[in-house]
Amino acid sequence: MTIKILIADDHLVVREGLKLILETNPKYAVVAEASSGVEVLRQVEACKPDLILLDLNMPEMDGLAAMTALRAQGIDIPVIILTTYNEDEMMIRGLELGAKGYLLKDMGREMIFRSMDAAMRGETLLLPEISEKVFAARTSGKNKAPSSVKTMLTDKELMVLQAVARGSRSKEIGSDMGISERTVKAHLTSIYNKLGVDSRPQAVAVAVERGILLL
């Protein structure tokens, strides 16, 4: 089954470049484009895409506002944010809203498809070089969290969370730790409950902000 893609970016050259790349993979088909957040909402309703590649800075309504609006409507479409390295605060907010990953606008074909494949599996791919930049604003200049906060997670939960931050899948984490995939998911449920979140990207964002994870 072909996966339908909505590309949202106010720069035509970015949209055209992504379309050329996506056309090389029959698994994906670009069914709609948008140059503003308002258009994103219209195209989601009209075309029912399976995945959205979303710029943060757009006129009328930015990417974050569009994500918030979709979430408020109960629309749960995976979103990968198109970004540059100077949008730290917005990228953190994107994680909190449930973004499945980030793509630099000059990223290569292989990584684009790898990120999209992960998003369609319900997973989040956070590359170390992006993660470090995304969270730098929140981690720099802050004191380390008190030991009581750091120890709210068990050693195994911390190992699972570190692996999640690297973009590893549950099966891969289980194999590396010598535990079952079911046990990995149980650890994730516990992590979510302790951090007050409901997704992998939110768990990573909160853990970094509290000093539990240092990327």
- Amino acid identity for residue 87 in this structure: E
My answer on whether 119 and 151 are in the same domain is no
Q: What angle do CA 16, 22, 26 make, to 5 degrees?
A: 140
96 and 194 fall within a common domain: no
Residue 135 is assigned to a structural domain of this protein: no
Q: State the CATH number of the domain containing residue 55.
A: 3.40.50.2300
Tell me, letter by letter, the H, E, C secondary structure of the chain: CCEEEEEECCCHHHHHHHHHHHCCCCCEEEEEEECCHHHHHHHHHHHCCCEEEEECCCCCCCHHHHHHHHHHCCCCCCEEEEECCCCHHHHHHHHHCCCCEEEECCCCHHHHHHHHHHHHCCCCECCHHHHHHHHHHHHCCCCCCCHHHHCCCCHHHHHHHHHHHCCCCHHHHHHHHCCCHHHHHHHHHHHHHHHCCCCHHHHHHHHHHCCCCCC
What are the backbone angles phi and psi of residue 34, rounded to the nearest 5°?
A: -150, 145
Within 10 angstroms of residue 109's Cβ, the number of other Cβ atoms is 12
Residues 184, 153 share a domain: yes
Final residue of a domain: which of 92, 125, 158? 125
Q: Name the domain count of the chain.
A: 2
CATH, residue 168: 1.10.10.10
- The reported pTM is 0.65
Q: Of 125, 158, 182, which residue sits at a domain end?
A: 125
Q: 147 and 121 in one domain?
A: no
pLDDT at 104: 81
Query: Are 119 and 187 members of one domain?
Result: no
Check: CB of residue 101 under 8 Å from CB of residue 164. Answer: no
The length of the chain is: 215
163 and 111 in one domain?
no
In which domain, by residue range, is 168 found? 142-209
Domain membership flag for residue 160? yes
Residues 194 and 117 in one domain: no
Q: Which amino acid is at 113?
A: F
pLDDT at 127: 64
Q: Cα(6)–Cα(19) distance, rounded to whole angstroms?
A: 10
Cα gap 124→80, rounded to integer Å: 9
Per-residue model confidence as pLDDT tens for the chain (215 residues): 899 999 999 999 999 999 999 999 999 999 999 999 999 999 999 999 999 999 988 888 888 888 888 887 888 899 999 887 666 677 777 877 788 888 887 788 888 998 899 899 888 777 665 666 555 545 554 444 444 444 478 888 889 988 888 778 899 999 999 999 999 998 898 888 888 888 887 788 778 777 787 65
Does the residue 131 lie in any domain? no
- Domain end among 125, 150, 173: 125
- In this structure, the answer to whether residues 99 and 162 fall within a common structural domain is no
Same domain (yes/no): 15, 50: yes
